[in-house]
Structure 1
Amino acid sequence: TTRNIVRLHSWSGIPREVRPITWRLLSGYLPANKERRELVLKRKREEYFRFIEQYYHSRTDEHYKDTYRQIHIDIPRTNPLIPLFQQPAVQEIFERILFIWAIRHPASGYVQGINDLVTPFFVVFLSEFVTEDMENFDVAALPLETQRNIEADSFWCMSKLLDGIQDNYTFAQPGIQNKVKALEELVSRIDEDIHNHFKRYEVEYLQFAFRWMNNLLMRELPLRCTIRLWDTYQAEAEGFSRFHLYVCAAFLIKWRKEILSMVDFQGLLMLLQNLPTIHWGNEEVGLLLAEAYRLKYMFADAPSHYKR
């Protein structure tokens, strides 16, 4: 099928100019059937703005005002170093997207961390209209219609992503607790030295990996790297849940030398919470994904003799 062919080609990274349409296809937002695309987009964008008309005024109601307050506090903290995200027009877009998502998903509601997940979609859909210096681009200068389309598409694609990892954000975040446990179990099998080193200095996986699961490594990597990572996540079955686990394991082992050279709790935690990826680009992400794929093959899809 069209979607499978697109998946195959997307795994190793999508060229910038076709990324917006490819992401819409991969997330299942856009139908594979070309004839239906225009119609579906029009319908879904209208549906989103109907939600806004229906619900957005209720953000000040007693029942929702805490949710709205939390969103309002979190949004300026989303990518604080990129001017694009400090613009009032952009912050309002994010507030609407997150508020509508929260009230349509009462089982989880809004949880800190979800705010980060809008960003890659927003940037990719904006990239259709802006070619250079996106980080400083004035979104309010775009036609209103274009702004609205970017907003609606970001909402729907983020919703599709969250459908697959909903238990990460329900009460007590059981999905994340389980994934951190799974990471610990995996690392103990892949690299006993790191695992024992953590034990020895009483570092708990939750202390650093909670954020890796909650924010899908977005806080650990530059935004351009997250976008490249998501090309693969959307192409891989259960990319944001199961495959992400192997990426986290590969990411941890990447810093093996640095980790093993730290011989106190404080130093280890400081390192793990500030890993030096600021200069990372496509090449580093490509290597990380290849290693994650290898680990997944060995430990998940594995011939049983690999599993001890």
Structure 2
Amino acid sequence: RCENVKQLVSEVLRLSMASDPLLYLAQTHDTVAKIDALSDEMRTFLRLCLTVDSEDRPVPRNLLSHSLFRPFVISASLIPVPPHFPVIEPSLCLVDFAHYKAKLGAMEHEGDLLKDYPLTLDNDFLQEGERPELRGGKRDKLSERPLREVYHLWQLAGGNVEQELKKQKLVRIKPAILTLPSVMVVEGEFFGGGLHRRQLLESKTIILPLHNLRHRLAHIPPEKYYPLITQGECGTDELETSQLPLVIRERDVEYQFHRLLIFERLLQSYPFKAESILREARKDTLPFYRALVWASLLGVDGAVAHTYQQIDKETPTPTDRQIEVDIPRCHQYDELLSSPQGHVKFTRVLKAWVVSHPHLVYWQGLDSLCAPFLYLNFNNEALAYACLSKFIDKYLHKFFLRDNSAVIQEYLAKFSHMIAFHDPQLFNHLDNIGFIPELYAIPWFLTMYTHVFPLQKIFLLWDTLLLGEASLPLCIGVALLQQLKDRLLQFGFNECILLFSDMPDIDMERVVRESVQVFCSTPPSVTYRQHERPKPDPSKRSSPSPHLSQASQDLVMDAVPVAELKQEKCPRACGADLLELLAHKKSRSGRAKVLVVDIRPSDEFAHGTLADAINLPAESSITHEGLLVPGPQSDVLNSYRGKIICVMGSRHNWEHVIKFAESLVAQEFPRVCTLHQGVEVFRASGALVVPS
């Protein structure tokens, strides 16, 4: 033993300079004979552990893959994994204690002649001299699964650790008053009472019974443990539970077990199986692998651990004070995020994002965005940081600029247009009382609803959000308002403010379902924003490109000044979307799902218009009260109520187009939009025809 720091430092330096640290320690402590008596395998392992250079020294996970441990672990999964995403963390598989003890006994007597005995279906220790045997000729496949996975399934099968501890009398209920000391003096010293059992260390080992879980999975054939993913046949569609509600599927052991096997294989093949992961996630996202599935949906790839490690998270920054204020208020009902370690991890991830994005700034709400990723990746800060960065880049592009007013104002204007497009009755009421989106929707979109709802509802919401495009949050907002529609229609301005200050209970499954319906029934150009992240796929491009011809550029959407967007109540649709709707969106009756209303004068209409368009001149088709003038064309328009109605006019009379469309919204016509840039966009494309 070293008596002082000087001797300790000297000893460490000598050890670091020794060519063979193991031999040096053996000579120092006079144990050379004992070291020589060890096997070559053991000496090699000790030398690996004593490697002085930290860059060359193996980490514990790599040391576990050493041949020294192979006789003790029934798994071939202890393979070093590179620090790249995705990582299905290798873990010790469920160890069969009977097999473990049999191996230990055989090693003492048979040495290298030991054979790998098959697993048994019991987890009890064998009697001395007894060897495990196959039961019914079947190998126990469950014992080959990772321990975390088995524990998760065990909980789904009704397992409860607290109940097991109570059975073993390790958890006892004691009235709080009995834990108080008998006597306490003024100075704070107390006498009597003794220590409560929960304050003492309990070394007893409890083996959790797997009987219920084995019984639930007993009928699953062995080949199901190794699903084939090359043909796209994943094997859960034929299960009866696959058509049940999500809340039931998430608690069904058999269904979750099949999904575990499928997602494990797909995640191990990421990024090559990214499309397959997306396809399976559309069915449902497995809670057990939610963190990795989200990361794959966001396109996280590369050496995320190395990237995160290179970021300076210790140097003070101007945002440190604001982060310290925000974190104690962020989802503190959760024990994990409210813990001291949770606050430390929160701070590191947020600082890493701020430091690595110098062109962006920290806005309040970033902590709420970080919370779901940190909760799911509590022991993997690097992956939480990578997911947060990808998420913001996709769904909140430019939202965290120092001057983000134009970005947010455009987003809110588009949201207002979406409300008018899908629910004109609600839009008219909110517009009349002056309850505009600026008063309630900014926290929704800036935090992607994480500031409004608890984490468990956010998980359900984001499982669908991450499958969609950047416009899906707008659809979610519309679905939220529609669920609160009955209350909002009865409320005035003050009541609406109070309602959104304390959000009532929301059926999140309904929101998810209806938001998808809203998304599918909205033309893509309606939600186009000039500040959104450019789409890499040219086939999904809504904005003009220099590679397109002039005719094609006229048909796509381009930027509209925010001031104009805020003045208009109806959204704009581009010519390309309108032509696609006319060509492909046919109902069962053969009628198009879109009606084009040409509001130009009759003589201009006669020179050329779109096929199947009707002519309702703006100056003679609307009364002073804003109602439609009765007539055959008005009857046609009324028959299309509920379908998409596109108001088309001339570019030089754009104010007439806006006025006509707004009059339809005032009459509660749903799905009303205007043709962006007017009928002139079709002149070069040859889409105009002479009406018969």
TM-score higher than 0.5: yes
Residue number among 155, 177, 186 corresponding to 2:385 in the alignment: 155
Instruction: Give the whole-Å Cα distance in 2 for the aligned partners of 1:255 and 1:205.
Output: 15
Bigger Rg over Cα: 2
**Larger RCO (alpha carbons 8 Å, 6+ apart):** 1
Q: In the alignment, does 2:306 pair up with 1:46?
A: yes
Aligned to 1:268: 496
> Quick check: 208-217 or 290-299, which moved more?
290-299
Per-residue CA deviations over 1:38-84 (Å, capped at 9, x if unaligned) read: xx4xx321321221xxx23321xxxx2x2111111111111132232
Q: Find out whether 1:168 has 2:408 as its counterpart.
A: no
Runs of 4+ in 1 over 6 A off after TM superposition: none
Q: Which of 66-75 and 117-126 deviates more? A: 117-126
For 1:18 and 1:169, how far apart are their aligned partners in 2?
A: 29
Q: 1:178 aligned to 2:410? A: yes
Which residue pairs with 1:225 in the alignment?
457
Q: TM-score, normalised by structure 1?
A: 0.78
Rounded Cα–Cα distance in structure 2 between residues aligned with 1:11 and 1:276: 28
Deviations 1:144-163 (A, max 9, x none): xxx3xx11110111111111
CA contact (8 A) 2:349 2:381 kept: yes
**Match of residue 314, structure 2, among 57, 72, 76:** 57
Aligned twin of 1:85: 337
Partners of 1:8 and 1:235 within 8 A in 2 = no
Kindly report which structure 2 residues correspond to 1:239-278, keeping only aligned pairs within 5 A, or say none.
Answer: 241-262=470-491, 264-277=492-505
Deviation at 1:110, TM superposition (A): 1.1
Partner of 2:85: none
Deviation of the 1:231 alpha carbon: 1.5
Letter of the 2:432 partner, please give it. Answer: R
Which residue of 2 is the match for residue 26 of structure 1? Answer: 297
Structure-1 separation of matches of 2:478 and 2:346: 31
Residue 319 of structure 2 aligns to a residue whose secondary structure is: helix
Which structure 2 residues correspond to residues 3-14 of structure 1 after superposition, within 5 A? Answer: 3-14=274-285
Corresponding residue for 1:296?
Answer: 519
Contact 1:225-1:285 at 8 Å conserved across structures: yes
In structure 1, C-alpha distance between the alignment counterparts of 2:294 and 2:519, rounded to whole Å = 24
Q: 5+ unaligned residues in a row in structure 1: which ranges?
A: 31-39, 127-146
Q: Which residue of 2 aligns with 1:138?
A: none
1:198 offset after TM fit, Å?
A: 1.4
Root mean square deviation, CA, Å:
1.9
Give the TM-score of the pair, scaled to structure 2.
0.36
Q: Secondary structure at the match of 2:305?
A: helix
Task: Determine if contact 2:448/2:473 at 8 Å carries over to the other structure.
Answer: yes
Would you say the 8 A contact 2:412–2:441 is kept in 1? yes
Partners of 1:56 and 1:21 in 2: how far apart?
24
The answer to whether the 8 Å contact 1:24/1:157 transfers is yes
1:56 is paired with a residue whose SS is coil
Deviation by residue 1:3-27 (Cα, 9 ceiling, x = unmatched): 1221122134312122222122212
Task: Show structure 2 runs of 5+ residues with no match.
Answer: 1-271, 525-576, 582-593, 596-643, 646-671, 673-692
Alpha-carbon distance change, 88 to 183 in structure 1, aligned in 2, over 3 angstroms: same
One-letter identity of the residue aligned with 1:222: P
State the secondary structure of the residue aligned to 2:310: helix
More helix by share: 1
Question: Is the contact between residue 169 and residue 175 of structure 1 (CA under 8 Å) also seen in structure 2?
Answer: no
> Which secondary structure does the structure 2 equivalent of 1:299 belong to?
coil
**Which of 349, 359, 362 is equivalent to 1:107?**
359
Contact 2:368 2:447 in 1 (8 A): yes
Counterpart AA for 1:170:
L
CA distance in 1, matches of 2:366, 2:482: 26
2:273 pairs with 1:16 = no
Aligned mates of 1:18, 1:85 — CA distance in 2: 19
8 Å CA contact 2:373–2:388 kept in 1: the answer is: yes
Query: Is this contact kept in 1: 2:360–2:400, CA < 8 A?
Result: yes
> Which residue matches 1:135?
none
Equivalenced residues, count: 258
Within 5 Å, give how 1:119-134 maps onto structure 2: 119-126=371-378
Q: Among all aligned residue pairs of Structure 1 and Structure 2, give the percentage whose two residues are the same amino acid.
A: 21
Deviation at 1:85, TM superposition (A): 2.0
Following the alignment from structure 1 to structure 2, what is the Cα–Cα distance between the partners of residues 95 and 294?
38
Q: Which has the higher mean CA deviation after the structures are superposed, 169-178 or 190-199?
A: 169-178
State the alpha-carbon separation in 2 of the partners of residues 11 and 171 from structure 1: 36
On the 8 A contact 1:177/1:210 being kept in 2, the answer is no
- 1:244-301 per-residue CA deviation (whole Å, 9 max, x = no partner) reads 1111111111100011111x21111111232212xx5xxx333212211211222225
Q: Tell me, what secondary structure is at the counterpart of 1:166?
A: coil
Q: Contact 2:475–2:519 at 8 Å: present in 1 too?
A: yes
1:89-126 Cα distance to aligned partner (Å, 9 max, x none): 11111111111111221222211111111111122234
Q: Label 1:298 to 1:47 Cα distance change in 2 as closer, same or farther (>3 A).
A: closer
Mark the CA change 1:100 to 1:18 in structure 2 (over 3 Å): closer, same or farther. closer
Number of the residue aligned with 1:285: 508
**What is the letter of the counterpart of residue 460 of structure 2?**
R
Per the alignment, in what secondary structure is the counterpart of residue 168 of structure 1? coil
Q: Which amino acid aligns with 1:244?
A: P
Contact 2:346/2:374 (CA < 8 Å) preserved in 1? no
Partner of 1:209: 441
